[in-house]
A = this chain, B = another copy of it.
Amino acid sequence: MAGVKDVARLAGVSVATVSRVLNDSAPVTEATRVRVLAAVDELGYRPNAVARSLRTDTTRTIGLVIGDILNPFFTELARAIEDEARASGYSVVIGNADERPERQDHYVRTLLEQRVDGLLLCPTAQITPLVRDVVSGGAPLVFLDRTLPGLDVPTVRADGTAAIGALVSHLAGLGHRRIAFVSGPALLSTGRERTAAFTAALRTAGLPVRPEYLEAGDFQAASGRAAAARLLDLPEPPEVIVAGDNLMTLGALDEIRARGLAVPGDVGIASYDDVPWFTHVDPPVTAIGQPVQELGRRAVRALLERIGGRPVEPVVLDARLVVRRSCGEPGAQGNESEGSGRP
C-alpha cells in the first residue's frame, strides 16, 4: 500500500510537505498543494492511522464497554454516543461485556492496549482489579448508567427515584396494594438505587414493604422470568410486578403468558426502561423511560473534557413515568397512537 513516501515522490516534494498538506499543519503553496492532492488521489493513498497514532500518541478513538448489546437500552445508548462522538471527530469502539466481569475486563484491556483516548464504561456488578487499576492509573474514564461504590470516577446516569415514586403512587391510586419489584444485581448502583427508591415509595404511599415481594434478577430476560415465577407461586401473589429493566420485563411477560394469566386482570406489570415495542404489547406496558439520547451526548462530552485534562462533574438526569395500560389503568380500549416511526 502506498505511503507518504510514494506520494512525495510522485508529487516531486518531500514527505514533510505531504504531511503538511494532509494535516494543513503549516502553510503550503497552492501549487504544491494541488500537486500533492493529485498524487494522493492517483495513488489511492490512505493515511496509516496506526503509524500516525504511534507518532502522535492519540487515536481519536474512544472505547465504549456496554453491559449487553442485545438490550435495546444499551443499543440506543450506543447509537447516541456514536453520533455525538462522530460529530467531534472521534470513532467509537464498542465492546459487549454481556454483563460478565471477565468479558468486561477483556475489552477494557484490549481497548487500553489499542490506546483509545478515553473509555466509557458501564461497569458490571463486581469491581475487578483491572478496573481499579485503570481508575488509579488515571486514564480518561467515565462511568455510564451505573456507579461503583467507593470509586472516584465521574458518572453520567439517570436517576429513577422520582419516577419510581410516581409509579408507585400511580399504582396505589389505581387501588393496588400488593406490588412486587424485581431488581437488578444488588452490587450495581442501578440495582440498589431502584430497590431503595421502590421501598421508600411504598412507605410514602402507606403501603407495607413485604420482603417476599422484593426479588432480585440480573437484568437478563431469564432472571425476570424466574423471578416472576417465584412471585406468582407465592400464597398471596402480587397484584402488580415492577421489573427493573426491559429484558426482565420481557421474561416476566413470558412467564405470565405461559401460565395463561391475563394482564392486567390477573397480574399487572410495569417496567423500568421504555422500549419501542412496549406500545404494541397487549396491553401496552406502563414504563419508566430514561433520557437515553441526552445520556449519550453528555457522556461523550464528559469524556472529551477528561481527555482534555479538565475536571468533570457527575451528570444525573431524571427518568420519567410513561403511563400506559398494563397495570389496570382505565382508558380507551384502542391503543394510544404513539408512533414508533422515526421521521
- Residues of chain A touching chain B, judged by Cβ–Cβ distance below 8 Å, are 44, 46-51, 53-54, 59, 61, 69-70, 72, 75-76, 78-79, 82, 86, 91, 93-94, 96, 106, 109-110, 112-115, 133, 137, 220-226, 250-251, 253-254, 257-258, 260, 276-277, 279-282, 334-335, 337-343
Partner of A78, one of B51, B69, B86: B69
Residues of chain B contacted by A72 (CB below 8 angstroms): 72
Copies of this chain present in the complex amount to 2
Pairs of residues from A and B, 3 with the lowest C-beta to C-beta distance, nearest first? A282-B282, A222-B341, A258-B337
A254–B342 CA distance with the chains assembled, in angstroms = 12
Contact present for B69 and A59 (CB under 8 Å): no
Contact present for B79 and A115 (CB under 8 Å): no
* Extra contacts besides A49-B110, A61-B114, A282-B282 (10): CB < 8 Å: A46-B113, A50-B54, A69-B78, A93-B94, A220-B341, A222-B341, A222-B342, A250-B276, A254-B279, A281-B282
A93–B49 CA distance with the chains assembled, in angstroms = 15
Contact present for A221 and B340 (CB under 8 Å): yes
Contact present for A79 and B96 (CB under 8 Å): yes
Contact present for B82 and A76 (CB under 8 Å): no
Known: A54-B51, A280-B277, A282-B282. A341 touches B254 (CB 8 A): yes
Contact present for A257 and B335 (CB under 8 Å): yes
Known: A276-B250, A279-B254. A70 touches B59 (CB 8 A): no
A203–B280 CA distance with the chains assembled, in angstroms = 33
Contact present for B115 and A49 (CB under 8 Å): yes
A280–B249 CA distance with the chains assembled, in angstroms = 11
How far in angstroms is the closest Cβ of chain B from A168?
24
Contact present for A114 and B70 (CB under 8 Å): no
A338–B94 CA distance with the chains assembled, in angstroms = 31
Residues of chain B contacted by A251 (CB below 8 angstroms): 340-341
Residues of chain B contacted by A113 (CB below 8 angstroms): 46-49
Residues of chain B contacted by A115 (CB below 8 angstroms): 48-50
A96–B61 CA distance with the chains assembled, in angstroms = 15
